[in-house]
Amino acid sequence: MQCHSGQSLHTISTAGVHTLKVWMVDPGLVLDRLVLSTSTIPHSYNGPRETSAGIDAVSVIGEEETLSVSSADRFLRIVNYGTLEVRDADLHLLGDLWNYGTVRVIGDSELNIGGNLANFGFLDLLTWSGAQSGSVSQLGNVLMREDIRVENLQVSEGDFRFEVPSYRGHFYQLYESATLQSGDWFPVGSLLAGLGQNGNPERLSYQIPISEFQNFFKIQVD
C-alpha cells in the first residue's frame, strides 16, 4: 500500500466563510484528513487534533505579549510566542499547547492539558510543585528546581560573599536564622527580582558581614 501526502499554500484575501472542494481524480483514493493552518504546526505522528466548530480554535500569544492564566480561564489550544505564566492557578486546556516562547509555571499550579505540550522554546519549572496531565514533547530548554543554587562562595575583607543565578519572573529573598528552627527565620535586605531570560541567568550578589556568632542563611525563591 502506498500513502501520499501533499501541501499547498493559499492566500485568502477576505474574511468569512469559504468553500474548499476536493476532486477524486484516481479511483480508490481515500482522503484521510485535511489540515488547515495559519501558523507553523509542530511535527507529530498523528498530526494536530481536530478543531471544534463554533469555538475560537487557537489562542495566540505574540512575541511581546504576556498572558497570566487564572483558574477560571478555559482554552481550546494555545500557541505561545511570548510569555505564558501560570502562577498558583490551574491551566485548563482542551487541546495542545505549542510553546515557542516562555511558559512559566509557579507554585502548586496544575496543568490540565488534554492534548500535547510541545516545547520548542523555554519551559520554566523552577519553583513548580504541582501536577500535570497530558503528554510532553520536549524539544526546547527546561529550567528545573535543581537550577536553584548558590555559587562563588568566598570570604573577603571581613565579609561572606556569594552569588545566586536569577531568572526573570522569580523573586529572591535572603533569610537568616540562629537556630534553624522553622519560626526563627528573618528576612535580610530587600526582595530582589530575577533578571535572567531564556535559561541564561544573571547573578545576584550578596555580601554579609562576618559575625562572632554562628548564623545560618538561606535563599527563598518565589
Is the CB of residue 183 less than 8 Å from the CB of residue 147?
Answer: no
Per domain, the residue ranges of the chain are: 59-143, 149-221
| Whether pLDDT at 79 is above 90 | yes
Multiple choice CATH, 149-221, 2.160.20, 3.20.20, 3.30.710, 2.60.40: 2.60.40
Q: Please state, for a pLDDT cut of 70, what percent of the chain lies above it.
A: 87
In this prediction the pTM is: 0.70
Pairing mode, strands 141-143 and 59-61: unpaired
Query: In the block, which residue shows the cell 483558574?
Result: 71
Q: What's the pLDDT band for 188 if we cut at 50, 70, 90?
A: very high
Rounded mean pLDDT, 126-138 = 86
Q: Which three cell numbers stand for residue 217?
A: 542563611
Q: Choose the weakest-confidence range: 11-25, 59-73, 102-116.
A: 11-25
Rounded mean pLDDT, 68-82 = 89
Rounded mean pLDDT, 131-142 = 86
